Amino acid sequence: MCCFKMKSKISFAFLAAFWYNARMFLYTNTEQSLQALGRKIRAARIAKGDTQKVFAFRIGVSVPTLRAMESGSPSTSLAAFLNALEAIGRIGDIDGVLSCTSPYGYGG
C-alpha cells in the first residue's frame, strides 16, 4: 500500500510539472493572438446584443467555454472559435489565413 501511495504522488507531481512546463512553451504571439481573437468575439457578441448564455447556445458551447474563449484560453477547441466566427459573420476571414499568398507556401 505504501508503494502505491508513493507512485501516485510521483505521478501527480510529474503531471503537474509537465503541465506547467508545457504551458511555458506556448508562444507569446499565439497567446496574444488568442486573447485578441477572444476580445473581438466578445465585442461582436455584445454589439449584436447577445448575452453569454444566448451566444454560447448559438455556437454550441457552454457558458464557461465561451468565457474561456473570450479570455483567449488555448484549451478551447478550434471548432468553437470557428463556430463563433460563423455566428458573428466573420468566418470568411479564415480564407485570408489560408490563402495561396501565405508566406508558408500552402493554402487554397
| Confidence band of 61 (pLDDT split at 50, 70, 90) | very high
**13 within some domain:** no
Please report where in the chains the cell 466578445 appears, as a residue: 42
Q: Looking at the domain assignment, is residue 63 inside a domain?
A: yes
What's the CATH number where 76 sits?
1.10.260.40
Instruction: Provide the domain count of the chain.
Output: 1
The answer to the question of residue 7 being in a domain is no
Whether the CA torsion 51, 62, 27, 30 is positive or negative: it is negative
The whole-model pTM stands at 0.67
For residue 76, give the nearest of 37, 47, 44 by alpha carbon: 37
pLDDT at residue 102 is higher than 60: no
pLDDT at 73 over 80: yes
In a domain, 68, yes or no: yes
